[in-house]
Amino acid sequence: MSFVRRSHPRALRGDPAAGRRSARAQRCTTAYFAAVLSLASCPVAFADESGTPFWVSGQLASLAAVPSSPGWSVNLQGFAYRGTASASQELSFGHRLDLGGVSRTPSLSVAPGYAWTETIFGGQPFFGISFGLGGDYESTTFSSLTSGQVLSSKSDRLWAGSDLVPWASLAWSHGNDNWMAYLTGNIPTGAYQASRLSNIGIGHGAIDFGGGYTYYDEHSGVEASAVIGLTFNWENTHTQYRNGIDSHLDWAVSRFVTPNWQLGIAGYVYYQLTGDSGGGAVLGPFKSRVAAIGPEIGYQFMVGGEQWYANLRGYAEFWAQNRFEGYAVFATLNIPLGTK
């Protein structure tokens, strides 16, 4: 989802430069909350059943916890992932096992949202929802059935609509310190068939909650952000498979090197806390993990009197276990629509 940030308190003290930096932070953070909705609704070959968790790691980065300013906004999110798994790596697709392979998942999502003027417990509320079009290409070295029968190599590709992902959050600010609490989840409306190798939806409901912190010094332009959360999954009734409890950490450190340009690094850590279960979990608990790091660049510009924000960042994964390992790219354009 996307939203515009309200004025930072320090920006009201008569420092024009601080005001410009504060406004920049407010609009930049809009893109990252929007990414939660946009990206969580797109399939990625990571962990859990078929290697696909609800939370897409890396979707939050710099300025993630800075409160939003009131009004409407919309976020356009492009996303691409390419991962591989060796022929010795088993991945569970319901009652079918696939050994190794390649996963490519491009997508484009739209996330409208609205931030209220009124506060709740002193925090700025925001609500939005994401939907979009996703692509999924899966190719396995070869497949095997639970009966032990070996099949030839197999591949599949699909373009279709995604699941719906609502998002609600509260954010607070005091000086250089900013906090955020969020609640999101998955409504399984996207294209999904248990018999198909490629899917856009994940085939089950999920709920995810957590919080974040951003330190932002508007005088130097330096910031550091971290968001941590937990995902609880409902059973996929198509396959009798229930993913375990997932934990995730998204982080970033950046600096505005000019009034318009932002440079930094971002990363994420994904770690499955409890094992998968159900009749379809033929590999047992199948707990997984991964970490990633990469560069980030942001740019703000004026269109029709409104300040738009674009962000591009990429991640290289490592420390992977029981999942694909590869590269992810996020491209975000945030468009403020105002309070009208």
The DSSP secondary structure of 254-300, one letter per residue, reads EEESSSSEEEEEEEEEEEE-S--BSTT-TTTT---EEEEEEEEEEEE
pTM, two decimals, is 0.85
Q: Between the ranges 27-36, 44-53, 209-218, where is the mean pLDDT highest?
A: 209-218
Residue 22 pLDDT > 90, yes or no?
A: no
pLDDT beyond 90 at 248 = yes
Mean pLDDT score, 142-157: 64
228 near 210, Cβ under 8 Å?
Answer: yes
CATH of domain 9-338: 2.40.128.130
Q: What is the pLDDT of residues 201-212, one digit of tens each?
A: 999 999 999 999
The Cα–Cα gap between 178 and 176 comes to: 7
pLDDT at 148 over 70: no
**pLDDT-based confidence at 98, cuts 50/70/90?**
confident
> Taking 50 as the threshold, does the pLDDT of residue 51 lie above it?
yes
pLDDT at position 246, please?
97
Q: Please, which pLDDT band fits residue 37 given cuts at 50, 70 and 90?
A: low
Mean pLDDT across 56-68: 91
